[in-house]
Amino acid sequence: MKEIQSSMAGTVFQVLVGAGDNVAAGQTVLVLESMKMEIPVDAQTDGTVGEIKVAVGDFVNEGDILVVLS
């Protein structure tokens, strides 16, 4: 399993994928909002979304697991 982690603290603004979706390396899977800026979070590798660990409006810290790919 591959984990996509938050690179910074912020609030989940958008979740762009769902469980079972195939994603490609470089594809944006969700968007964080921090200090009124939108920060895209991209998949580092190809995979299938196994689990989404956050929801829109959740606050996350740097290093928190956002999405698990299988």
Q: Write the CATH number for 37.
A: 2.40.50.100
Q: Quick check: 67 and 48 in contact, CB under 8 A?
A: no
Per the structure, how many domains does the chain have? 1
All residues at 6 or more sequence positions from 30 whose CB lies less than 8 Å from its CB, including other chains: 12, 13, 14, 15, 16, 17, 40, 41, 54, 66, 67
Percent share of the chain, pLDDT over 70: 100
Q: Quick check: 4 and 24 in contact, CB under 8 A?
A: no
- Which structural domain range is residue 51 located in? 2-69
1 falls in which pLDDT band (50, 70, 90)? Answer: confident
Q: Quick check: 11 and 55 in contact, CB under 8 A?
A: no
29 falls in which pLDDT band (50, 70, 90)? Answer: very high
- Mean pLDDT, the chain, rounded, equals 97
Length of the chain counted residue by residue:
70
Segment 33-47, tens digit of pLDDT: 999 999 999 999 999
